[in-house]
Amino acid sequence: MKRLLILLLTGLFAQFLVSCYPEGADKIQDYDVAMTNYDKSADFGTFTTFSIADTVVYFSNENGVTLSHQFDQQIVDLVTANFEKRGYVRVDTTENPSFVVTISAFSNINYAYYVDNWYNNWSWYWGWWGGPFNPYYSWYPVSVYSYRTGSVAIDMISTAARADGKVNVVWTGIADGLLQGSSSFILNRLDKQINQCFAQSPYLRK
């Protein structure tokens, strides 16, 4: 539930950023967001080893769309390197790791619109209509546009048994942004945002 809330907040924040730039931001990177959340009761110094899946699980709100796995290896390698830099050792799942890491990716197509009230910019309504209200025209321009957002979610899951039988996600990092630009450009931004997730989590250390 907590993880779904983080994803929802991330998506809403991305849409908020887009609404701040109704005619487009100066740079695509302006929409990138890195968010993290963790279990305040977890002692990350007690974790020693981890295992990680070699593929990314993808989800999309578009029917009939086949998502590409072209970035899987780079993302897995980057996440692995970040955990190893913090003293954790990668092992096989058969070696009873202290935690496992899963990586998920979410792709969404979003639609929005904005109204260009050009006459308000010239303050015509004061002298023209004699009152502080906006005039209405049936022909005022409405611009509709779409944008695709993508999120990479990294979950650090403790392998310690719980009394209720549920898994314990002790840390989640989410890299979110627009899926625009060349493959190398998107990958460079993913690299920056995933690194930022770890940079803003100094408690992740053996």
Domain ranges of the chain: 2-21+30-113+148-199
- Checking if the pLDDT of 183 tops 50, the result is yes
Q: How far apart are CA 14 and CA 177, in angstroms?
A: 7
Summarised one tens digit per residue, pLDDT across range 7-37 is: 444 443 444 444 444 444 456 666 788 999 9
Domain 2-21+30-113+148-199 fold is Double Stranded RNA Binding Domain (3.30.160)
- Checking if the pLDDT of 110 tops 90, the result is no
Query: Which 3-state string (H, E, C) describes 4-35?
Result: HHHHHHHHHHHHHHHHHCCCCCCCHHHHCEEE
Q: How far apart are CA 175 and CA 173, in angstroms?
A: 7
- Structure tokens belonging to residue 181: 């630009």
Q: How far is CA 106 from CA 22, 79, 95, 101, 202, in A?
A: 23, 17, 30, 17, 26
The alpha carbon of residue 72 and the mean position of all alpha carbons in its chain are separated, in whole angstroms, by 16
